[in-house]
Amino acid sequence: MAASTVWEILQTAGIDPAPERNSSTWADFLRSQADALLAWDFFETITLSGARMYVLAVIEHASRRIRILGATAHPTASWVTQAAKNLVMDLEDTGCRARYLIRDRDGKFPALFDTVLSDTGIEVVLSGVQMPRMNSIMERWVQTCRRELLDRTLIWNQRHLLHALREFEQFYNSHRPHQGIANARPLRPLPIPVTDPEQLEPLNIRRHDRLGGLPPRSMTCTATVLLCHA
């Protein structure tokens, strides 16, 4: 049946056409709520002794700021709940007004976890089953952490893992440029560009290694270059 025939039948019956339906995609939601979005996830790593460690991290969508919430061999319900409480206190201290938190359907998250967040006005949004792209920014950070740190570092134990992750967190937030935010750093604005060639002469470039030089070249060279006037 042609569309014109359907229109004539509806008009004869006195039925108005259906209004246009405004559909919102997942990408539209991420863009419109970026300033109020957090993403949370677990990922695993293995120490030299063969112990499996679970790392918990959360990232702010708008600024790309990462927070390492902890690492443990036993992510119990009480441990995860306490991590949520610590996150809430940190968000309050830094003035971050998050409204949504994206997480997957991992069984490590107890019901009390969602309750702790909802009591502070943060709504938990679950990603689809086996749909990691719904939490793509967090998944991308996990890949970055593996590629630039964990795959190149021999982790002895939990204490060593936390130390390495804290160093990487500081590097990621304060030194590493991010294309998603115009090559700025989450905790540092872009510096004023140098347009006068004469100003390049007095610059003194220094390099400072982190973690004893173990991180990859992109970390030691990019993260630790300091520009200052001689």
d(CA 207, CA 164): 19
**Per-residue pLDDT, 230:** 31
Residue 21 in domain: no
**Per-residue pLDDT, 15:** 75
**Per-residue pLDDT, 203:** 65
**Per-residue pLDDT, 34:** 86
pLDDT tens digit at each of 230 positions of the chain: 677 777 777 778 777 766 654 567 888 888 888 899 999 999 999 999 999 999 999 999 999 999 999 999 999 999 999 999 999 999 999 888 899 999 999 989 999 999 999 999 999 999 988 888 899 999 999 999 999 999 989 999 999 999 999 999 999 998 888 888 888 888 887 777 777 777 766 667 777 777 766 554 444 333 333 333 33
Neighbours of 90 (CB within 10 A): 13
CATH assignment of the domain containing 101: 3.30.420.10
**Per-residue pLDDT, 20:** 54
With a CB cutoff of 8 Å and minimum separation 6, the contacts of 105 are 126, 127, 129
Retrieve residue 50's tokens: 């063969």
Residue 13 in domain: no
Residue 133 in domain: yes
Residue 227 in domain: no
For the chain, how many structural domains are there in total? Answer: 1
**Per-residue pLDDT, 157:** 95
Give me the torsion for CA of 215, 220, 223, 229, rounded to 10°.
160
DSSP 39-54: EEEEEEEE-TT--EEE
- Report the predicted TM-score, pTM, of the whole model to 2 decimal places: 0.76
d(CA 149, CA 168): 7
- Bridge partners (DSSP) listed for residue 203: 229
Residue 25 in domain: no
Residue 150: closest CA among 135, 134, 166, 161 = 161
77-94 vs 111-118: helix axis angle to the nearest 10? 20
Residue 99 in domain: yes
Query: What is the domain range of residue 124?
Result: 31-189
Residue 225 in domain: no
Residue 205 in domain: no
